[in-house]
Amino acid sequence: MSNRKKALKKPRVTVVDENPGWGIYVWRKANGQLFFDDDDNILNIPSRQFDVEKMKQIAEAAAHYGEPEGKAEFVPGLQRATDEEYTEQRERMKAGMLPTMNDFGAVTDAKIAQGIQDG
Predicted confidence at residue 118, as pLDDT, reads 57
Q: Is residue 3 part of a domain?
A: no
Q: Both 59 and 32 in a single domain?
A: yes
Is position 31 within any domain?
yes
Read off the pLDDT of each residue in 52-61 and give the average, rounded to a whole number: 98
Tens of pLDDT, residue by residue over 4-41, are 556 667 778 776 667 778 899 999 999 999 999 999 99
Same domain? 95 vs 76: no
Residues 69 and 86 placed together within one structural domain of the fold: no
- Whether residue 45 is contained in a domain is answered as yes
Mean pLDDT of the chain, nearest integer: 87
Residue 30 counted as domain residue: yes
Q: pLDDT value at position 68? A: 96
- Bridge partners for 75 per DSSP: 24
The tally of domains found in the chain comes to 2
pLDDT of 119 over the 60 cut: no
pLDDT tens column, 69-90 = 999 999 988 889 999 999 999 9
User: Which pLDDT score is estimated for 8?
Assistant: 65
pTM, rounded to two decimals: 0.69
- Note whether residue 59 is domain-resident: yes
Q: Which domain holds residue 92?
A: 81-113
Q: Are residues 93 and 103 in the same domain?
A: yes
Please indicate, yes or no, if residue 13 is contained in any of the structural domains.
Answer: no
Percent helix, strand, coil in the chain, to 5, is 35, 20, 45
CA dist 46 to 11, 14, 35, Å?
39, 29, 16
Q: Is 66 in the same domain as 28? A: yes
Alpha helix positions (H), 18-99:
52-64, 83-94
